[in-house]
Structure 1
Amino acid sequence: MNERPRPGDLLIVDGAASVQFAGERALRLRVVSVGEAVPYSNWLWLTGYVIDRHGRATARREVYVQLAGLRRAASPPPAQIDRRAASPPPAQADRRPASPPPAQADRRPAGPPSTSSRSTDRPARSDGVRR
């Protein structure tokens, strides 16, 4: 790849991009942002989401890769969202408490705030300020 990736690009990040992604550690990354700073020539920081074989984002990652080692991936089919799995069953929804739990009472004794004995043990300086 010769041009910098852009947000939305789906890339294959494997051993050609960086040794840490060789073999089974290769991944498909949907780019969210590309770092502006270029610490070394043709290396760059990418932020994106790892895309599984079903087209779902599984983890957010920041990777440091060589531009020349990146390849564009074929877009996966759009992820199917099972709405039934996304919301709790009605029986569980009814188990929520009707009102928030009562706040715990303050268990400190009533009275004026305590002062540190350390600040009153020392005599005042000649200018009247305690040390």
Structure 2
Amino acid sequence: MAEVKAGDILLIGRAASVQFVTPIRFRLIRQLDWTTYDGWVWLDGYQLDERGDAVARRSIFVKRAGLRAAPVPVAIKGPGRQRRGIRQDAAPGRPGG
């Protein structure tokens, strides 16, 4: 993967580090400028759940070559559910709409 930047959603798995047997989705806050081994980086960000919501803040040590862009989560809309960030009762041109 090319250079990562704040806001990127990454899929962190075994290719990035053996500690990630079960892959996680990770929203990057920043790459830390700590001294590491060649090809490795410290990343600061949030672990995401299946809906894309942050569940834990983490700093992780990973191989740059193992970083992958994560697929974008699909918003689920149905009875009693709303798309995140969009109020269903708001009219266009009004606050919240």
- TM-score band by shorter chain is 0.7 to 0.9
Instruction: Write the distance in 2 (CA, Å) between the matches of 1:58 and 1:68.
Output: 25
If the length of structure 2 is used for normalisation, what is the TM-score? 0.72
Q: Which residue does 1:43 correspond to in 2?
A: 40
Name the CA shift for 1:72/1:38 in 2 (closer, same or farther; >3 Å). farther
- Of 34-43 and 64-73, deviating more is 34-43
Q: Given that residues 55 and 77 in structure 1 are in contact (C-alpha distance below 8 angstroms), is that contact kept between their aligned partners in structure 2? A: no
Instruction: Considering Cα pairs closer than 8 Å and 6+ residues apart, tell me whether 1 or 2 has the greater RCO.
Output: 2
Q: Which residue does 1:80 correspond to in 2?
A: 84
If the length of structure 1 is used for normalisation, what is the TM-score? 0.55
Letter in structure 2 aligned against 1:73: A
Q: Percent identity?
A: 40
Q: Could you tell me how far 1:80 is from its partner in structure 2?
A: 2.9
User: Could you give the per-residue CA deviations for residues 78-128 of structure 1, whole angstroms, max 9, x where no partner exists?
Assistant: 6737xxxxxxxxxxxxxxxxxxxxxxxxxxxxxxxxxxxxxxxxxxxxxxx
Residue 58 (structure 1) aligned with residue 55 (structure 2): yes
Instruction: Write the distance in 2 (CA, Å) between the matches of 1:16 and 1:68.
Output: 8
Instruction: Write the distance in 2 (CA, Å) between the matches of 1:71 and 1:38.
Output: 22
Q: How many residues align?
A: 79
Larger Rg: 1
Q: Given that residues 47 and 63 in structure 1 are in contact (C-alpha distance below 8 angstroms), is that contact kept between their aligned partners in structure 2? A: yes
Instruction: Write the distance in 2 (CA, Å) between the matches of 1:77 and 1:36.
Output: 33
Query: Which structure shows the bigger proportion of residues in strand conformation?
Result: 2
